[in-house]
Amino acid sequence: MARLATIRDVAARAGVSIATVSRVLNGDVPANPVTAAKVRAAAAELEFRPNRLGRGLKIARTRVLGVLIPSLSNPVFADSVGGIQAAARRAGYSVLIAATGYDAEREDAEIESLLSHRVEGLVVTVADADRSAALAKLDRSGTPYELVYNLPEATCRPAVAVDNIAAARVVVSAMIALGHRRIGMIAGRFLASDRSRQRHAGFMAALNEAGLPPGPVIEVAFDDLRLGGGFGSALTGSGRPTALFCSNDLLALAVMGALHDLGLRIPDDVSVAGFDGIGFGSLLRPSLATVVQPARAMGEAAFERLLARLDGAPPAPPLTLPFTLRHGGSLGPAPSPQP
Amino acid sequence: MARLATIRDVAARAGVSIATVSRVLNGDVPANPVTAAKVRAAAAELEFRPNRLGRGLKIARTRVLGVLIPSLSNPVFADSVGGIQAAARRAGYSVLIAATGYDAEREDAEIESLLSHRVEGLVVTVADADRSAALAKLDRSGTPYELVYNLPEATCRPAVAVDNIAAARVVVSAMIALGHRRIGMIAGRFLASDRSRQRHAGFMAALNEAGLPPGPVIEVAFDDLRLGGGFGSALTGSGRPTALFCSNDLLALAVMGALHDLGLRIPDDVSVAGFDGIGFGSLLRPSLATVVQPARAMGEAAFERLLARLDGAPPAPPLTLPFTLRHGGSLGPAPSPQP
DNA sequence: CTGAAAGCGCTTACAG
DNA sequence: CTGAAAGCGCTTACAG
């Protein structure tokens, strides 16, 4: 670190004690106006920036927030982080951000690192909240946190999310209402993603309600959106699904490309819907039908809840925010006759 | 902050001094194996996480990097940050990230905050490097930094970027080669963006080279991608441009939507090209022709350069990385006859 | 209103 | 190999 001015430098230049410098600059207690002026002048001349390490160590507050997300390249996370940052800035907090690539080991390591930096609280999105060792450790640490997107089922943890099951059910019901009878799902690995499991549950619920059997359910890895191999055979030929529900928008975009390559037209041959509501989906042609999560607002809400906790409020129950169904050209009536 | 275990707690439990705890845990000097085992056991039982504030204050190194970007919602920035994070993680650095919304005041305030946190270095993208007060202040602070995307012309500052002028020239030359004679530009405000200015210079260079007069040049604000009003009149009617170069991809996507609303077909009536190479551009139909910047690699390179500086290397000259032209359906031959 | 002093949690010469 | 002590840059009772 470059050698920056310390409070001692300012005190010397102003001809006062460091205690006085601290008091003047923090502006809490009254000070002699001429002393204050001298201090301020010295601080300005030296471009004094109080060292937050010193302050943090003393007052045991860092005004730093930790953010843990799978990846910044998914706009749904970039947007929630944008909300967190905006709210944090308003409250005078800085934000330490770590990306995990959906890797449990990295989740753990980054939580350790964040805690070591003594973040006052964390906003966290993990791959699978119910079986996360990192989260269990976080619980033991006593540092307050809020989950975003994850809504654990087996444990009661503070979270801001949408009702994934209900939302998935709404999309799939919309498909059924459009005459689709063979509906498949492309999903992130259930073992690795609580959201993928929950959205699958909603998918099943809608089908059960309508008395329909599920179409093919294909699990894919997060980091492999190339969708090669067995993908094509399940989606072509007679008896193929006429609609595909994808567990997130990034997956849906990849699926649309793959279907195009298979020579299938969207939505004439096959309809597609996603989940998340990333902005780019509505720029596509056909535009992507999807569930819109209020990503930015979720980030803001998570930060506000955290702030309340830091101010002494008791943990709040999970906050479920409303989702909306965004209609799009990718979702149309079932082809007739059925393929 | 929750009350976490301190080195004193560990020392007490292991029955040794805090100096020994420090030595064992930092594993630098040899220690008695049985003492070491006791210390490690105590640390594990207490889930001891060394307080980085204490360590940082003492050794005057925080292992924290500051990142300043306009916004995380533009994938070109999210991607470069992804590269920074990956490289930082490998080197054991954490990352404090601040977004500025292209606002000079916020740039200044966030730089102050980052410096206060004693980041060891910064990776910075500002709206306009040549007239940034924040950057001037950064220079005075002595804290090393690397610019990304900005390539100042009036000042010599460490930077990782592509040659914006050359790249813009290549795109516009490609338009000319396709028979376009009336080529317009939609650009972020020149007064607010060095990149917009540089790309405009490349646009002009290509036209001059071909002996063509420029078509309409429309400046728009970063935060207003709605493109209302006078936008339509300049782009319709006889004598309208047959190709539009947009100063970045986000703008190009907005322009494509607006052209669609004006009833113009892309590329039959009008061609469009962007700048940045965000992944979503190639998912659009027609796909977006654009200049691809190696965003992630730029972020990684910036971090590596910073690390070299922190290890004592002298400042390196600006690094210009190669760009590529991505062909796309949005750029086609000029219509004949000319409108 | 101001200063001297203690102490936050670490690391690291300096002794032993 | 280990410990006592100093000190990094702050804030804040405690005196005066």
One domain, residues A172 and A225: yes
CATH number where B286 lies? 3.40.50.2300
CA closest to A5 among chain B residues: B141
For position B291, what pLDDT does the model report?
98
Please give the protein residue whose CA is closest to the C1' of the nucleotide C3.
A17
For position A155, what pLDDT does the model report?
85
Report the distance separating Cα B56 and Cα B144, nearest Å.
18
One domain, residues A236 and A299: no
The answer to whether the C-beta of B12 is closer than 7 A to strand C is: no
For position A225, what pLDDT does the model report?
61
CB contact under 8 A, A85 and B73: no
CB contact under 8 A, B95 and A94: no
The B243-246 sheet, strands edge to edge: B217-220, B183-188, B243-246, B271-276, B289-292, B324-326
SS3 track for chain A? CCCCCCHHHHHHHHCCCHHHHHHHHHCCCCCCHHHHHHHHHHHHHCCCCCCHHHHHHHHCCCCEEEEEECCCCCHHHHHHHHHHHHHHHHCCCEEEEEECCCCHHHHHHHHHHHHHCCCCEEEECCCCHHHCHHHHHHHHHCCCEEEECCCCCCCCCCEEECCHHHHHHHHHHHHHHCCCCCEEEEEECCCCCHHHHHHHHHHHHHHHHCCCCCCCEEEECCCCCCCCCHHHHHHCCCCCCCEEEECCHHHHHHHHHHHHHCCCCCCCCCEEEEEECCHHHHCCCCCCEEEECCHHHHHHHHHHHHHHHHCCCCCCCCEECCCEEECCCCCCCCCCCCC
Phi and psi angles of residue A272, each rounded to the nearest 5 degrees, phi first: -135, 140
CB contact under 8 A, A95 and B94: no
- The pLDDT tens digits for A284-313 are 889 999 999 999 999 999 999 999 999 989
Does B284 reside within a domain?
A: yes
The spacing between the Cα labelled CA in B111 and the C1' in C5, in angstroms, equals: 34
Question: Which residues in chain B are closer than 8 Å to A70, comparing Cβ atoms?
Answer: none
One domain, residues B176 and B242: yes
Report the distance separating Cα A230 and Cα A61, nearest Å.
53
One domain, residues B279 and B181: yes
Report the distance separating Cα A334 and Cα A179, nearest Å.
5
One domain, residues B275 and B173: yes
One domain, residues B103 and B206: no
**How many independent structural domains does chain B possess?**
3
Bridge-partner residues for A68, per DSSP? A98, A124
Q: Which of B52, B78, B280 sits opposite A116 (nearest CB)?
A: B52
For residue A1, is pLDDT > 60? Answer: no
One domain, residues A107 and A222: no
CB of B39 closer than 8 Å to CB of A158: no
- The pLDDT tens digits for A235-267 are 887 788 999 999 999 999 989 988 988 889 999
Which residue carries 């640490």 as its tokens? A141
The answer to whether the C-beta of A59 is closer than 7 A to strand D is: yes
The answer to whether the C-beta of B58 is closer than 7 A to strand D is: yes
Does A2 reside within a domain?
A: no
For position B225, what pLDDT does the model report?
61
Q: Which domain holds residue B41?
A: 7-50
Q: Which of B49, B99, B284 sits opposite A283 (nearest CB)?
A: B284
One domain, residues B183 and B221: yes
One domain, residues A93 and A138: yes
Does A170 reside within a domain?
A: yes
Report the distance separating Cα A237 and Cα A219, nearest Å.
20
Which residue carries 């072509």 as its tokens? A236
One domain, residues A77 and A30: no
Report the distance separating Cα B187 and Cα B136, nearest Å.
26
Two tokens, residue B229: 């009003």
Supply the DSSP symbol for B215. -
Does A328 reside within a domain?
A: no
Does A333 reside within a domain?
A: no
Please give the protein residue whose CA is closest to the C1' of the nucleotide D6.
B58
Does B117 reside within a domain?
A: yes
One domain, residues B171 and B281: yes
Does A339 reside within a domain?
A: no
Two tokens, residue A203: 């998918």
What does the pLDDT profile of chain B (339 residues) look like in tens digits?
568 999 999 999 999 999 999 999 987 776 778 889 999 999 999 999 999 999 999 999 999 999 999 999 999 999 999 999 999 999 999 999 999 999 999 999 999 999 999 999 999 999 999 989 999 999 999 999 999 999 998 888 999 999 999 999 999 999 999 999 999 999 988 888 999 999 999 999 999 999 999 999 999 886 566 666 567 777 887 788 999 999 999 999 989 988 988 889 999 999 999 999 999 999 888 999 999 999 999 999 999 999 999 998 998 999 999 999 999 999 999 998 776
Number of residue pairs across A and B with CB atoms under 8 Å? 152
One domain, residues A156 and A299: yes
Interface test with A, best of B94, B139, B225 (most A CBs within 10 A): B94
Report the distance separating Cα A191 and Cα A128, nearest Å.
8
Does A117 reside within a domain?
A: yes
The answer to whether the C-beta of B51 is closer than 7 A to strand D is: no
The answer to whether the C-beta of A99 is closer than 7 A to strand D is: no
Which nt has its C1' nearest the CA of B9? C9
